[in-house]
Amino acid sequence: MYPNWEAIYRDNVGWVYGLLFSKVGSRPDAEDLTTEVFLAALRPLRVSATVREVRSYLMATARTVLADHWRRTLGRELTTLDDELFDPALPERDISRDRSAEADRILSDLPENYRTILRLRFLDGLTLKEAAAEMSVTVGNAKVLQHRALRAAAKVAERIGV
C-alpha cells in the first residue's frame, strides 16, 4: 500500500508517461495525456488499495485516455495500450529499450539509404537539412527518400508484427 497520494504519484508517473510516449511519439502529447490520467485516476483511488491495484487502475485509465486522444485527433485508434502485456509488478520495464529492439529489427531489413535517412532523422534527431548534408543529397532528395523509407519500414513492421 502507498502512504499517501504523493507516493502513488511519484512511484507511477514515470512509467505512465513512458508508456504513453511510446504510443503517441510526442512529448507534449504524452505530458497532456499523463496529466489526464492522474487527474482522472486519483479521484476514485483509495490509499487502502494495493500497489498492484493502483497500477492496474492507472493502466486502465491510460488505455481509455489514449483511446480518447486518437478518437479526438484522427477519429480512430491509431495505437492502443494492451493490458495483456502489462505486469503491475514491473510497470517500469524499460519501454524505450523494447522499442529500440523493434526499431533495430525494422531498420536492419531496409536498404542502406533508407536505413540511414530514418536513423538520422528519427533516432539521431537531425533536421531534414542536416540529414541531407550528412548523406550528400539535396534536401528535396532527402525528403523523398524519407517518405519512401518510412513506407518501406511500415511494410516491414507489418510483416514482422511490431
38 binds another protein (CB under 8 A): yes
Q: Return the number of the residue (21 or 86) whose C-beta is nearest another protein.
A: 21
Torsion of CA 109, 24, 76, 82, to 10 degrees: 80
Binding residues for another protein, rule CB under 8 A, total 62
DSSP-assigned letter for residue 85: G
Of the candidates 47, 83, 87, 138, which one interacts with another protein according to CB under 8 A?
A: 47
CB-count burial class (<10 Å; 0-12, 13-18, 19+) for 3: exposed
In this structure, are residues 18 and 33 in contact, taking their beta carbons and an 8 Å threshold? Answer: no
C-alpha cell at 62: 491510460
Residues at the site binding another protein, with contacts judged by CB under 8 A = 4-6, 8-10, 13-14, 17-18, 21-29, 31-32, 34-35, 38-40, 42-48, 72-76, 78-79, 95-96, 99-100, 102-104, 106, 118, 121-123, 125, 147, 150-151, 153-155, 157-158, 162
